[in-house]
Structure 1
Amino acid sequence: MTTSDAIVVDRPQGQPGYADLSRSVRAAGLLDRRRYHYLGRIVLNFLAFAVGGVAFVWLGDSWWQLFVAAFLALVFTQFAFIGHDAGHKQIFRSRRANDVTGFVHGGLVGLSYGWWVGQHTQHHAHPNHETKDPDVDIPVLAFTIEQGHAKRGVVRWVAKYQAFLFFPLLLLEGLSLHWSSIRSAWGGGVRKPRLEKVLLVLHFAAYLTAVFLVLSPLTGIVFVLVHQCLWGVYMGCSFAPNHKGMPTLPDGHTLDFLRRQVLTSRNVRGGPWVDFALGGLNYQIEHHLFPNMPRPNLRHAQVIVQDFCLRHGIEYAQCGLLRSYRYVLEHLHAMGAPLRVSR
């Protein structure tokens, strides 16, 4: 099966399904909360943020601040990972506690938690679905041949060369996330619009005040650009390997939940450093099968899930980090090929 194949298959009769796998995972205690793990991770994130803040004030109006901008891009992404886990109810059992955590972390990085939960829930329900997954409906990219042919104007030109432009485009991902958050909060597309508006206004007011109170206008503008662009690249590089280049699902497919989640997802190998850098998203198959599983349990579930898939003939995609990006670029290049030969 190539990375661009659409899956239209029936579930073989008599094959064990999701309930069998779920019982094994639950029996291993992998759905139990890991509150102390998350508490430690949140404390370390805030300590790192504090270190960045102290360095920012101490350096003053200096071009050395660009290193602080890069460091804070890493910290902001780690905050976003906590917001992601809260949105999946991985941290606490109660919705309220998870939502409080999610709103706080969304506010810290300037994202609408309510907007993100809405579109991410839809993605999990329909991963890589050609018409239902918002993550494959990106105006400047074509993930299927049909999407490519539907592009017009400048966007069509971008889609032609999207494999070459993919990483440069990620420089704008942070700004895109901010804009989508603002548009949703003020457009009534979130559950708590008043709260979201307050958090976003506080974020941008505090962020811009701190930058331009300490830095001169030119240094401040460059600081913001470096920070936001690197944050966008880090966010994009964390989420892109998970599904891009994997099979897409058309309307009318008959895959059951188990196969829908496994066959459209890709895991990334790499050990503890990759686990940290990608916020556990490198265990994408397990995360999609058990969205509320705490992040530190995913690597233990991976052994059970991979063994289950091997025993029951379900294709299980896994590769190294650099290879995952290569798959993404190869797929984008293939989807843009018809546009490069058409007039």
Structure 2
Amino acid sequence: MTSVTVRAPRPESSGSDFARLSRKIADAGLLERRPGYYTFRITAVAGLYATGWIAFALVGGSWWTLAVAAFLAVVFGQVALVAHDVAHRQVFRRRRASEVSGRIAGASIGMGYGWWQDKHTRHHANPNNEDLDPDVTPDLLVWSQDQARAATGLPRLIGRWQAFLFFPLLTLEGFNLHVSSGRAVANRALKHRVLDGVLLSVHCVAYLTALFWVLPPGMAVAFLAVHQGLFGLYLGSLFAPNHKGMPILRGDDRPDFLRRQVLTSRNVNGGWFTDIALGGLNHQIEHHLFPSMPSPNLREARILVRRYCEELGVDYLETGLIASYRQALTSLHQAGAPLRHKRVPA
């Protein structure tokens, strides 16, 4: 298991569909860095992060602290989005600068950078492939009817009504992020696992110390639940519209790079607020085709990519945010159908 930066493959064949699209994108200057944008964005997010913890200290032992918890949940989500862009080397050209910045961002929200980057690398290489993409492994939910038929334990129990449980379960995603990061430290194949373990431990100790030092025990537990629950809900809601409900592939079902990325991804319509709230991941098709493209360039790239897909006759799905959730939930309900059938073996 190695931690590598996700990049689109080089257009080795001058006549390939992706090669022609790549030249169009490069000629439009959309792969160029945006230092001014990221300087402003990182400064703003860091300022909001500091503001949240200052407010936490000033509010002190008042139930208004739960409003601070909700605010910090959103800020943590924005930090995660910055870490995502940094990991994709959208911000810095050099690997070392990207890794240092990414680890700082990850540590500030209790995320193991090496674990997440390895997982995300494998996702980008084979999105929605149930044999190769870790994001569609049936660890809690089932993503296809084949997975449902083979499910045991929690996936079997939850999978029957997983569409109804999906958003409530997202409130556990923040906790899952910390637990999965901690478990990954035990993996000797993970690069820089000791450093990640130290950073994760420092975050957890500092976080819990601050909560139980400033707040009474019951209020500290309430803050923890609200903050981590809403953080998980926000984090899960950022990624759910992108691939959930799109075609599921198998290990031997590997179309060419362009179609593999486009056909398994979904864009979400919206304006500047959607771009900020989703961190540019609403342009998921363009992001998967060009992972190192700065997120503010994705909206402009969308015009070129959509037109090109129309010329090729490749399905390009774009929908509203609510519709994307509806499609994802419908797909989850259909995937769990075999578990609602009485004749499914135990």
Report the TM-score, using the length of structure 1 for normalisation: 0.94
- In structure 1, what is the equivalent of residue 187 of structure 2? 187
Provide closer, same or farther for how the CA distance between residues 15 and 161 of structure 1 changes in structure 2, counting only shifts above 3 A. farther
Provide closer, same or farther for how the CA distance between residues 276 and 189 of structure 1 changes in structure 2, counting only shifts above 3 A. farther
Would you say 1:61 and 2:55 are equivalent positions?
A: no
Q: How far apart, CA to CA, are the structure 2 residues paired with 1:151 and 1:166?
A: 17
- In structure 2, what is the equivalent of residue 313 of structure 1? 313
Secondary structure of the 2:121 match is: helix
Q: How far apart, CA to CA, are the structure 2 residues paired with 1:210 and 1:335?
A: 43
User: After superposition, what is the alpha-carbon deviation per residue over 1:128-178, rounded to whole angstroms, capped at 9, x for unaligned?
Assistant: 112000000041111111100111244312000000000011011111111
User: After superposition, what is the alpha-carbon deviation per residue over 1:264-305, rounded to whole angstroms, capped at 9, x for unaligned?
Assistant: 000001111111001111110000000000111111101110
Residues 138-287 of structure 1 mapped to structure 2, 5 A cutoff: 138-287=138-287
Q: How far apart, CA to CA, are the structure 2 residues paired with 1:74 and 1:216?
A: 24
Seq. identity, %: 52
State the 1:187 CA deviation: 2.8
- In structure 1, what is the equivalent of residue 342 of structure 2? 342
Deviates more, 1:182-191 or 1:77-86: 182-191
- In structure 2, what is the equivalent of residue 8 of structure 1? none
- In structure 1, what is the equivalent of residue 49 of structure 2? 49
One-letter code of the match for 1:71?
F
Secondary structure of the 2:253 match is: coil
One-letter code of the match for 2:71?
F
Count of residues in correspondence between the two structures = 330
Checking the alignment, whether the CA contact within 8 Å between 1:258 and 1:289 is kept in structure 2 is yes
Checking the alignment, whether the CA contact within 8 Å between 2:238 and 2:278 is kept in structure 1 is yes
Secondary structure of the 1:21 match is: helix
Deviates more, 1:52-61 or 1:316-325: 52-61
Checking the alignment, whether the CA contact within 8 Å between 2:138 and 2:155 is kept in structure 1 is no
Q: How far apart, CA to CA, are the structure 2 residues paired with 1:339 and 1:87?
A: 38
State the 1:62 CA deviation: 0.9
Residues 13-92 of structure 1 mapped to structure 2, 5 A cutoff: 17-92=17-92
Report the TM-score, using the length of structure 2 for normalisation: 0.93
- In structure 2, what is the equivalent of residue 328 of structure 1? 328
One-letter code of the match for 2:213?
L
Residues 116-135 of structure 1 mapped to structure 2, 5 A cutoff: 116-135=116-135
State the 1:189 CA deviation: 4.4
Provide closer, same or farther for how the CA distance between residues 34 and 144 of structure 1 changes in structure 2, counting only shifts above 3 A. same
Q: How far apart, CA to CA, are the structure 2 residues paired with 1:17 and 1:93?
A: 26
One-letter code of the match for 1:72?
L
Q: How far apart, CA to CA, are the structure 2 residues paired with 1:308 and 1:176?
A: 39
Checking the alignment, whether the CA contact within 8 Å between 1:16 and 1:312 is kept in structure 2 is no
- In structure 1, what is the equivalent of residue 300 of structure 2? 300
Q: How far apart, CA to CA, are the structure 2 residues paired with 1:203 and 1:130?
A: 33
Secondary structure of the 2:177 match is: helix
One-letter code of the match for 1:332?
L
State the 1:54 CA deviation: 1.9
User: After superposition, what is the alpha-carbon deviation per residue over 1:97-153, rounded to whole angstroms, capped at 9, x for unaligned?
Assistant: 111110000000000111111010000000111200000004111111110011124
Residues 78-117 of structure 1 mapped to structure 2, 5 A cutoff: 78-117=78-117
Secondary structure of the 1:270 match is: coil
Q: How far apart, CA to CA, are the structure 2 residues paired with 1:282 and 1:340?
A: 33
CA RMSD of aligned residues (A): 1.3
Deviates more, 1:138-147 or 1:228-237: 138-147
Checking the alignment, whether the CA contact within 8 Å between 2:138 and 2:147 is kept in structure 1 is no
Q: How far apart, CA to CA, are the structure 1 residues paired with 2:324 and 2:15?
A: 30
Provide closer, same or farther for how the CA distance between residues 28 and 340 of structure 1 changes in structure 2, counting only shifts above 3 A. same
Checking the alignment, whether the CA contact within 8 Å between 1:115 and 1:189 is kept in structure 2 is no
Runs of 4+ with deviation above 6 angstroms: none
State the 1:15 CA deviation: 8.4
Q: How far apart, CA to CA, are the structure 1 residues paired with 2:285 and 2:188?
A: 33
Q: How far apart, CA to CA, are the structure 1 residues paired with 2:110 and 2:84?
A: 14
Checking the alignment, whether the CA contact within 8 Å between 1:115 and 1:190 is kept in structure 2 is yes
Provide closer, same or farther for how the CA distance between residues 74 and 35 of structure 1 changes in structure 2, counting only shifts above 3 A. same
One-letter code of the match for 2:248?
T
